[in-house]
Amino acid sequence: MPTILNGRDLAASLRAELKNKVAELNLTPRLGVILVGDDPASHLYVALKEKAAKEVGIGVEKILLPNSAAKEDIIAKVEFFNNRPDIHGILIQLPLPPQLNEHEIISAMNPEKDADGFHPHNLTNLQNNQTAVIPGVTAGIIKLIELSGQTLAQKQACLIVNSDEFALPLKKLLQDRVAKVNIIHTPEPKDLQVADIVVVALGQPQIIKGEFIKDGAVLIDVGTTKVNGKVMGDVDAASLANRDVYLTPVPGGVGPMTVVMLLWNVYHLARQLAEKTV
């Protein structure tokens, strides 16, 4: 029977710790959120982030823009937050409407306020072992792998992803822990059968079957797809029902951890500002 890596419980513990840390600051950390369009999932994700932020004492200021918003209008709002000393972190909720260039808009952020950790400056610093904001989803995945209690040194990690931009920060943190990392875009039995750690983020419901997973493996399911009103992950959890593996649930695994690690980033950014002004 799988050991469930419960992201909700771990996130709740991290929020409690963060609440105490925030209370010790001599300022209130504030997150500026830019939400473009009317995608229901994006609005839900922002609402969850607002709720968690309120719980730990982080303020949120949200700017809503229509689906038709021009690049220049969005960048103007980014600059508005860049120039606000009371805004310590900025989140541009992704995905943006398809006509917009996400890279260009994210690059308009002050990297010192990049709460999500996807500014090119921060991604480059991370690869070069310099101080950087770590993407919340990446940090959350590492925490969930550590929750399994498995050592990472010399373990084989298989990252099955649509986006190398998502995979590269995770690859770096795993390699820092002396894991061997393989990035692929289509699940192959030969890769899965030797993997000690499998991270899948494809958005293809139940594509990962238990028959190809080795005993003792850690499976981190990042995929979320709604099928007939039910949220499903990329891992076929039922096919692992009698297996000795570690598995994150969907929902309740990576999602809550991504939110709480984003808020930890806001706290660190606010603390850095406080230290600069002392």
Helices (H), the chain: 7-24, 40-56, 71-82, 102-107, 120-127, 136-147, 164-176, 189-192, 254-276
Beta carbons within 8 Å of 155's beta carbon, 6+ residues apart = 179, 180, 196, 197
Pick the catalytic residue: 93, 143, 155, 236?
A: 93
Q: Does the annotation flag 151 for ligand binding? A: no
Q: State yes or no: is 49 an active-site residue.
A: yes
Total residues belonging to the chain: 278
Q: State yes or no: is 154 an active-site residue.
A: no
Strands 225-227 and 230-232: antiparallel
| Strand-pair partners of 184 | 160
Strands 180-184 and 156-161: parallel
Q: What backbone torsions phi and psi does residue 113 show, to the nearest 5 degrees?
A: -115, 10
Spatial CA neighbour of 141 closest among 254, 48, 230: 254
Q: What backbone torsions phi and psi does residue 251 show, to the nearest 5 degrees?
A: -80, 175
- Alpha-carbon distance of 5 to 93, in angstroms, equals 26
DSSP string, 208-229: B-GGGSPTT-EEEE---EEETT
- Residue 183 structure tokens: 């990035």
Q: State yes or no: is 93 an active-site residue.
A: yes
Pick the catalytic residue: 77, 113, 114, 116?
A: 116
Tell me the binding residues. Answer: 224
Catalytic residue set: 49, 93, 116
Tell me the binding residues for NADP(+). Answer: 224
